[in-house]
A and B are shown apart, each in its own frame.
Chain A
């Protein structure tokens, strides 16, 4: 790339010639104390809550606390350069971030500055970081599904566009994996994705970005990043900034998905700020308005009315629990705000059931409206069946003799559990999900050994794509489950059974279908037989 020095010089000269000097009027205050990402300022008597201020050296801040004699400022940037006695000026505007197509595919900090070394974000459009959520009249009920590509979720706790579905669980239970898989599954669906990393290790976020890039998801995804080493004010602002970027697409009539990973870290950053600002601590030392902090954020996810363009913003907030304690302050708050939760359990995770979703206590309050008809008719009773299977399984462990009917239900249950397992970065198309769940719930897997269910399923999906594309298409076009469709699918399954029985043991149908499955499968083979 070449720049012509003369050309640039002439541009600068033009700018100088056109420049009209005016007396600069500003409102100022003086820094009294500074530290830990906050500053107390004397003066600024006309500043408003949430207004931006500027410190010498161009560091910005937000008026956070308006007290009788001073103003508490949260500093968005390097607070180490600010000294006592520095002049602070109010800017008379609110915090905003760049939005638009230009942010797609980028890794940005919460102020919209690039972190990926790909040059400046070239957009002139900006949106306020804090923005009022659309009102009642501006919304409509959630009706379109947002496919996560995960069988367990799409069948039992379906998510709709505009819904807020909480992903909650202990550390290392696969919370982020669900968010990432959902983003991967939005490929070619036109949904713009935003991943907001709050208070995480920079290395884990780098891993997530790499995974997204590897699977081609960075073409429609923006990562907003404020790592564990970022000052608390930026961690606090990050989810709002990400939402502002996502909202741009929602108000344009498009669809967007945002994953907040995770809100418990944001609550901790907010707690830190509030305590430093001497706001009174409440339960678990969180400030009184930590609920509002999350509710005003999550309320911005919506399905807009047709008059407003019908766009949507779906959010997947993640909350980390300690030792499965869902009745802690932040988990209960966010559970009550969201439209359902996916609860991940460590014991399921270590038993090889991944995603480690506990179907009994995971819900989606939007329910069937967010599911395609076919999935609804295929997976309708799945949740209850699984719950009753869990009960039965506990009972069967007592070692009593079981009658044939009970044993059959148990066997079906084991196979369904096996069928709902899914490897990471392998989201499935919804029609494929319907087919495999249909095979499981209708008993077509009853004669397949439990440890071969995964193999069978992969082979079957491959078979449907390769050898029965017309049946696959028929399922995709179907409005509901009718006799004609069931006959066609049943026949296809029978045909595959025949092929599966005669496969060669070293590979054959299924091994080649899922080459990357080996790791997860070895885990899963340890499951109770």
Chain B
């Protein structure tokens, strides 16, 4: 189940741009066989630098800073501290004025990389945090059910009460207690409604007419 906070700021147009650049990045790193390392660094750049320093992020995204200035900043900040491929990629992105789409590019790169490696992303939501053993058994079960390698993400949603919700792409397998209760409610309502209509006929036949 997705939460509102996670999706706010999601922009289809940026996602589209991100896809194009992600394909280019993966193409470039595949030749040098450094995809894994570059993506790790890219992730760290977003998580450890841009997320921590919103001001820096804003400068990179701002159209008021010229691309020459951005190139200079990138050089000063990252030259020698970052893999060459990633720095060149960032410079190209800066030259095209697309540094505001970096997060979308990372998201798409990871997705495309997983797709290429045949790894399926699976998000598992539970009401309580699950132990390592359970995680392993869930992951093994899903891996055999989907007949591919799985990359698991766990999150805790107390609103589920119990059970588990597994999301693979756009498909959701919902075995949560809250969903079962909801289904039971609908089922009982429907059945009772039918029964009451039958009863109603009995009453209307004798009393109303």
List residues of A whose CB falls within 8 A of some B CB: 1-3, 7-8, 11-12, 14-16, 19, 21, 23-30, 32, 40, 42-46, 68-70, 83-87, 89, 120, 122
In the complex, A11 Cα to B193 Cα: how many Å? 10
The answer to whether B199 touches A69, judged by C-beta atoms less than 8 angstroms apart, is no
Q: Beyond A29-B170, A84-B4, is A23–B175 a contact (Cβ under 8 Å)? A: yes
CB distance from A446 to the nearest CB of B (A): 57
The answer to whether A8 touches B174, judged by C-beta atoms less than 8 angstroms apart, is no
Interface positions of B from 181 to 209, Cβ below 8 Å from A? 183-184, 187-188, 191-192, 195-197, 199-200, 203-204, 207-208
Contact of B172 among A15, A26, A42 (CB under 8 A): A26
Does B179 sit at the interface, judged by CB under 8 A?
yes
The answer to whether A24 touches B4, judged by C-beta atoms less than 8 angstroms apart, is no
The stretch of B10-18, B61-69, B153-161 that contacts the partner chain: B10-18
Q: Beyond A12-B188, A19-B187, A87-B1, is A43–B170 a contact (Cβ under 8 Å)? A: yes
The answer to whether A23 touches B173, judged by C-beta atoms less than 8 angstroms apart, is yes
A-B contact pairs, 12 of them (CB 8 A): A11-B196, A12-B188, A15-B192, A23-B173, A24-B175, A27-B171, A30-B2, A30-B7, A45-B169, A69-B16, A84-B7, A89-B172
The answer to whether B207 touches A1, judged by C-beta atoms less than 8 angstroms apart, is yes
The answer to whether B12 touches A70, judged by C-beta atoms less than 8 angstroms apart, is yes
The answer to whether B183 touches A24, judged by C-beta atoms less than 8 angstroms apart, is yes
Contact of B192 among A1, A2, A8 (CB under 8 A): A8
The answer to whether B183 touches A42, judged by C-beta atoms less than 8 angstroms apart, is no
- Residues on B with C-beta less than 8 A from A122 are 197
Q: Beyond A1-B207, A8-B196, A70-B12, is A15–B171 a contact (Cβ under 8 Å)? A: no
- Residues on A with C-beta less than 8 A from B196 are 3, 8, 11
List residues of B whose CB falls within 8 A of some A CB: 1-8, 10, 12, 15-16, 167, 169-175, 179-180, 183-184, 187-188, 191-192, 195-197, 199-200, 203-204, 207-208
Q: Which residue of A lies closest to B6 (CB)?
A: A85
The answer to whether A7 touches B199, judged by C-beta atoms less than 8 angstroms apart, is yes
In the complex, A311 Cα to B207 Cα: how many Å? 38
Q: Beyond A69-B12, A85-B3, A87-B1, is A26–B174 a contact (Cβ under 8 Å)? A: yes
In the complex, A120 Cα to B173 Cα: how many Å? 33
Contact of A46 among B1, B2, B170, B207 (CB under 8 A): B170
CB distance from A254 to the nearest CB of B (A): 25
- Residues on B with C-beta less than 8 A from A14 are 191
The answer to whether A69 touches B169, judged by C-beta atoms less than 8 angstroms apart, is no
The answer to whether A21 touches B180, judged by C-beta atoms less than 8 angstroms apart, is yes
- Residues on A with C-beta less than 8 A from B183 are 19, 21, 24
- Residues on A with C-beta less than 8 A from B15 are 69
Q: Beyond A1-B207, A11-B192, A24-B179, is A85–B8 a contact (Cβ under 8 Å)? A: yes
In the complex, A69 Cα to B187 Cα: how many Å? 35
Q: Which residue of A lies closest to B190 (CB)?
A: A15
From A12, A24, A25, A45, name the one whose CB has the most chain B CB atoms within 10 angstroms.
A24
Q: Which residue of B lies closest to A83 (CB)?
A: B4
Q: Which residue of B lies closest to A8 (CB)?
A: B192
Other A-B pairs, 6, CB within 8 Å; known A1-B208, A25-B172, A30-B7: A7-B199, A11-B195, A12-B192, A14-B191, A15-B192, A120-B197
- Residues on A with C-beta less than 8 A from B207 are 1
- Residues on B with C-beta less than 8 A from A32 are 7, 10, 12
The answer to whether B16 touches A28, judged by C-beta atoms less than 8 angstroms apart, is no
- Residues on B with C-beta less than 8 A from A89 are 172
- Residues on A with C-beta less than 8 A from B191 are 11-12, 14-15
The answer to whether A44 touches B3, judged by C-beta atoms less than 8 angstroms apart, is no
In the complex, A11 Cα to B196 Cα: how many Å? 9
CB distance from A278 to the nearest CB of B (A): 12
- Residues on B with C-beta less than 8 A from A83 are 4
For the complex of A and B, 5 pairs with smallest distance between CB atoms: A85-B4, A15-B191, A15-B188, A85-B7, A24-B174
- Residues on A with C-beta less than 8 A from B12 are 32, 40, 42, 69-70
In the complex, A70 Cα to B184 Cα: how many Å? 32
- Residues on A with C-beta less than 8 A from B200 are 1
Q: Which residue of A lies closest to B176 (CB)?
A: A24
Q: Beyond A3-B196, A12-B188, A69-B15, is A25–B173 a contact (Cβ under 8 Å)? A: yes
The answer to whether B188 touches A19, judged by C-beta atoms less than 8 angstroms apart, is yes
CB distance from B5 to the nearest CB of A (A): 8
CB distance from A484 to the nearest CB of B (A): 51
- Residues on B with C-beta less than 8 A from A68 are 16
In the complex, A44 Cα to B2 Cα: how many Å? 14
In the complex, A493 Cα to B184 Cα: how many Å? 75
In the complex, A69 Cα to B10 Cα: how many Å? 12
- Residues on A with C-beta less than 8 A from B180 are 21, 24
Q: Which residue of B lies closest to A44 (CB)?
A: B170
- Residues on B with C-beta less than 8 A from A7 are 199
CB distance from A57 to the nearest CB of B (A): 12
In the complex, A84 Cα to B5 Cα: how many Å? 10
Q: Which residue of A lies closest to B201 (CB)?
A: A122
Contact of A21 among B5, B10, B16, B184 (CB under 8 A): B184
In the complex, A28 Cα to B1 Cα: how many Å? 9
The answer to whether B175 touches A16, judged by C-beta atoms less than 8 angstroms apart, is no
- Residues on B with C-beta less than 8 A from A42 are 10, 12
- Residues on B with C-beta less than 8 A from A43 are 170
In the complex, A59 Cα to B39 Cα: how many Å? 41
- Residues on A with C-beta less than 8 A from B179 are 24
- Residues on B with C-beta less than 8 A from A86 are 4
Q: Which residue of A lies closest to B208 (CB)?
A: A1
Q: Which residue of A lies closest to B177 (CB)?
A: A21
In the complex, A14 Cα to B194 Cα: how many Å? 13
The answer to whether B2 touches A87, judged by C-beta atoms less than 8 angstroms apart, is yes
In the complex, A2 Cα to B6 Cα: how many Å? 50
- Residues on B with C-beta less than 8 A from A15 are 187-188, 191-192
In the complex, A84 Cα to B203 Cα: how many Å? 47
In the complex, A306 Cα to B16 Cα: how many Å? 56
- Residues on A with C-beta less than 8 A from B195 are 8, 11
- Residues on B with C-beta less than 8 A from A24 are 172-175, 179-180, 183
Q: Which residue of A lies closest to B13 (CB)?
A: A69
The answer to whether A27 touches B170, judged by C-beta atoms less than 8 angstroms apart, is yes
- Residues on A with C-beta less than 8 A from B3 are 85
- Residues on A with C-beta less than 8 A from B7 are 30, 32, 84-85
- Residues on A with C-beta less than 8 A from B16 are 68-69
